[in-house]
Structure 1
Amino acid sequence: MTTSFDSFQKRRLQSSYVSVVVSIALVLFMIGILGLVLLKSTKVANHFKEKVVMTLFLNDDVTKEQLEELKTTLKKESFTKNLLYITKEEAAKAYKKDLGEDFLQFLGDNPLKNGIDVYLNAAYVTPEKMLEIETKYQKNELIAEVNYDKPLVNLLTKNIQRISFWLLVLSGFFGLVAIILINSSIRLAIYSKRFNIKTMQMVGATKSFIRKPFIWQSIKLGLLGALISLIGLLILVYYVDKYIPTLELLKDYVALAYVSAGVLFTAFVITWISTFFATQRFLNLQTNDLYY
C-alpha cells in the first residue's frame, strides 16, 4: 500500500515538474519572439534612418584644398556615417536621366552646384539634431546651402516613436504575463510539498536551509524550460530566414546572443524570486492553515 502511494506521489510530482517546465518554455518562447521583434525593429528603423541624406551645396569658388579639408572635417564628425562628393556635372547627368531630356540645352549654363551628400548615423536622424547640423554648416563660408528632406525626417521620427511606444507596451504586458504564469506554476509545484516544508521547519531547519533546495530545483526547471524555448526559437528563426532572407536573422549573431541571454536571465530571475516568496509563504503559515 505504501509503495503504491509513493509511486502515485512520485508520478504526481513528475507531472508537476513537467507542467512547470512546459509553462516556462511557452512563456519564454513568447518573450524570445518579442525580443527578436524589438531588436530587428530597431535595426530596420536604423537602416531607414541611415538612408536619409543631408546635402551640403558648395560655393563655386571653393578650391580643391578647401574641399579636401572640408571632407576631412566632415569625416571626423560623430554624426557622419558616410559621405559622397558629387560634382555639378554628375548632378546634371542624374537630372537628365530623371527628366528624360537634357535641360542644359535650354539653360545653356549648368546652374547646379557641387555638393557633398552626408549620410548620418541613425542616432542623429531626428528633426532637432539635423536642425543643429544644418545651422552649424550654414555658417560655413564654403557652403552655399544645406538641404535635406525635412518632411520625411519628421514623418520617419514620428512613426518610429509610435511603433517603439506600442512595442514597449506590448513588452511590458508580456513581461507581466510571464511573471504571473511562471509564478503560478512554481507556486502550484511547491504547494504539493507544503507539508514537507513545515515538517522540516518543525524539526529545527532554518528558513534559508529549507528554501535552498527548492530554489535550486526551480532554477534548474527554469533553465530547462529556457533551453526548450531557445530550441523552438532557433527552429522559428531558421524558417523565417528561409522564407524572408532579407531580414538576415541567422546572420545577426548579436541579436541572437542578446535574445538567448535575455531568455536565460529571465528564467533564472523569475524562478528564483517566485520560489523564494512561495516557500516563504508556506514557512510563515501555521500548521492548521496548510489544509486550506
Structure 2
Amino acid sequence: MAKEKKFRKKKKLGSYPFVSVVFSITLALFVMGLFGLLLMMTKNLTTIVQENVEMQVFLNKNLSQNEITKIIKTLSSKDYVIKKESVAQVAHITKEEAAKEFYEETGEDFVEFLGDNPLRDVIVIKINPDFHEGQNLVEIKKEIGFIRGVYEVTYIESLVNSIQQNVKKVSFVLIGFSVILLIVVVVLINNTIKLALFSQRFLIRSMQLVGATTHFIRKPFLFRASLFGFVSGLIAVGLLSSLLRFMNTEVDGLLDLLRNEQLLVLGVAIVLVGIFVGFISTFAAIRKYMKMSLDELY
C-alpha cells in the first residue's frame, strides 16, 4: 500500500489570507464612506437652507421704473447677495403680482373690495450664508434702509437665529462622531493587519536568520498590504455607489444633495485611507516582530 504523501503549501514571503483581510478592511472603509456621505448630505442640506434665507426690501410708492431698476442694480452689486453663475439672486415682485398671488392663495380680492391696491413693490434678495453670523444681518438691514427709495427692510430674525444655532449643534455632533469613527476604522484595519501578519512571524524570523535585509523582508509585506488596501477601497467605493443608486430610486432627489466633485473626493479618500493605514500598520507590525526574541514570538 502506497504511502499517502501530504504536501503542505509553502508560505510565500508577504502572503497572508486575502479574503478575510480584504473583507475586514472593506467593511471598515464602507462604514467610513457611509458616514462621509452623511456628512456631505448634511452640509449641503444646511447650505441649501441657509441660501434660502431672504430679506424683503419694500419700496416707496410711486417710484419710476428707472428708480426701481437702479435699486435692483445697487443690491445686485453687494457682496452679501448670493450669486449663482454670476447672477445675483434678486427678485422684483410688483404690487400687482403680490395682489394676484394673495388672491390665488386665499380667494379674496381685496383690491376690488378696497378699490385700490395698498401693497408696495418689494425686492427679495437671498443673503450669502457667510453673512448670517453675529450682527451682519442687522448691519445689512441698516445699510439697505439708507438706500434712496427704500421704505422698509424685513427678515425673519428668529428663523435665522434658529438655523444658526441648529447648524452649530449639528456640526459639533458630526465632528465628534467623525473623529471617533476615524479612530475606530484605523484601529480595526490596524488590528486586522496585525492578526494577518501574526501567522508570518516565524517566516520573518527565518528570513532574518539567513541574512535577509530589513528592506528585503518588508518590501513584499508592504506591497501586499498596500494592494489589499487599494482593492478594499475600490470595493467599498463600488458598494457605496450601488447603495446610492438604490437609495435614489427609493428617495427622489437624494442625489441632488451630493455633488460629483464631492463624491470623487470621498472615493479617492477612501482608497487612500485603505492604502495608507494598511501600509503603516504593516510597517509597524513587521518592525515589532523583527525586534522580538524567539521566546516572545512563541
Give TM-score scaled by structure 1 length.
0.87
* Cα contact 1:241–1:250 (8 A) shared by 2: no
Counterpart of 1:138, as a letter, is G
* Distance change in 2, residues 1:134/1:201 (3 Å): farther
- Which of 272, 282, 288 is matched with 2:279 structurally? 272
* Distance change in 2, residues 1:283/1:128 (3 Å): farther
- Which of 169, 172, 191 is matched with 2:176 structurally? 169
Counterpart of 2:207, as a letter, is M
Counterpart of 1:5, as a letter, is R
* Cα contact 2:45–2:257 (8 A) shared by 1: no
Counterpart of 2:43, as a letter, is T
* Distance change in 2, residues 1:141/1:23 (3 Å): same
Find out whether 1:246 has 2:253 as its counterpart.
Answer: yes
Q: How many angstroms apart in 2 are the aligned matches of 1:97 and 1:188? A: 70
What is the Cα deviation at residue 3 of structure 1? Answer: 6.0
Find out whether 1:73 has 2:71 as its counterpart.
Answer: no
- Which of 78, 82, 85 is matched with 2:92 structurally? 85
Q: How many angstroms apart in 1 are the aligned matches of 2:256 and 2:24? A: 26
What is the Cα deviation at residue 74 of structure 1? Answer: 2.3
Count of aligned pairs: 287
Q: How many angstroms apart in 1 are the aligned matches of 2:73 and 2:208? A: 73
Q: How many angstroms apart in 2 are the aligned matches of 1:198 and 1:71? A: 78
Find out whether 1:257 has 2:264 as its counterpart.
Answer: yes
Percent identical pairs in the alignment equals: 33
What is the Cα deviation at residue 35 of structure 1? Answer: 1.0
Give the 3-state SS of the residue equivalent to 1:146 in structure 2. Answer: strand
Question: Which has a greater percent of helix?
Answer: 1
Residues 129-166 of structure 1: CA deviation (Å, up to 9, x unaligned): 32332232223233222111111111222222222222
Alignment partner, residue 141 of structure 1: 148
Counterpart of 2:199, as a letter, is S
Alignment partner, residue 45 of structure 1: 46
Alignment partner, residue 284 of structure 1: 291
Find out whether 1:4 has 2:7 as its counterpart.
Answer: yes
What is the Cα deviation at residue 108 of structure 1? Answer: 4.8
* Distance change in 2, residues 1:215/1:163 (3 Å): same
What is the Cα deviation at residue 183 of structure 1? Answer: 0.2
Q: How many angstroms apart in 1 are the aligned matches of 2:60 and 2:26? A: 63
Residues 222-246 of structure 1: CA deviation (Å, up to 9, x unaligned): 1111111122112211110111122
Counterpart of 1:4, as a letter, is F
Give the 3-state SS of the residue equivalent to 1:112 in structure 2. Answer: coil
Give TM-score scaled by structure 2 length.
0.85
Q: How many angstroms apart in 1 are the aligned matches of 2:6 and 2:146? A: 90
Residues 50-72 of structure 1: CA deviation (Å, up to 9, x unaligned): 22211111223644333323322
Residues 68-101 of structure 1: CA deviation (Å, up to 9, x unaligned): 2332232233332311011222223333444432
Q: How many angstroms apart in 1 are the aligned matches of 2:142 and 2:253? A: 37
Moved more, 72-81 or 267-276: 72-81
Could you tell me which runs of 5 or more consecutive residues in structure 2 were left unpaired when the two chains were aligned. 83-88
Q: How many angstroms apart in 2 are the aligned matches of 1:222 and 1:249? A: 30
What is the Cα deviation at residue 251 of structure 1? Answer: 7.8
Moved more, 118-127 or 76-85: 118-127
* Distance change in 2, residues 1:286/1:132 (3 Å): farther
Residues 96-125 of structure 1: CA deviation (Å, up to 9, x unaligned): 444432334565543322221002334444
Q: How many angstroms apart in 2 are the aligned matches of 1:173 and 1:2? A: 52
* Cα contact 1:194–1:290 (8 A) shared by 2: yes
* Distance change in 2, residues 1:141/1:251 (3 Å): closer
Q: How many angstroms apart in 2 are the aligned matches of 1:246 and 1:228? A: 25
Alignment partner, residue 185 of structure 1: 192
Moved more, 275-284 or 245-254: 245-254
Counterpart of 1:53, as a letter, is E
Moved more, 220-229 or 44-53: 44-53
Counterpart of 2:29, as a letter, is L
What does 1:85-164 align with in structure 2 at a 5 Å threshold? 85-105=92-112, 107-126=114-133, 128-164=135-171
Could you tell me which runs of 5 or more consecutive residues in structure 1 were left unpaired when the two chains were aligned. none
What is the Cα deviation at residue 185 of structure 1? Answer: 0.5
What is the Cα deviation at residue 4 of structure 1? Answer: 2.7
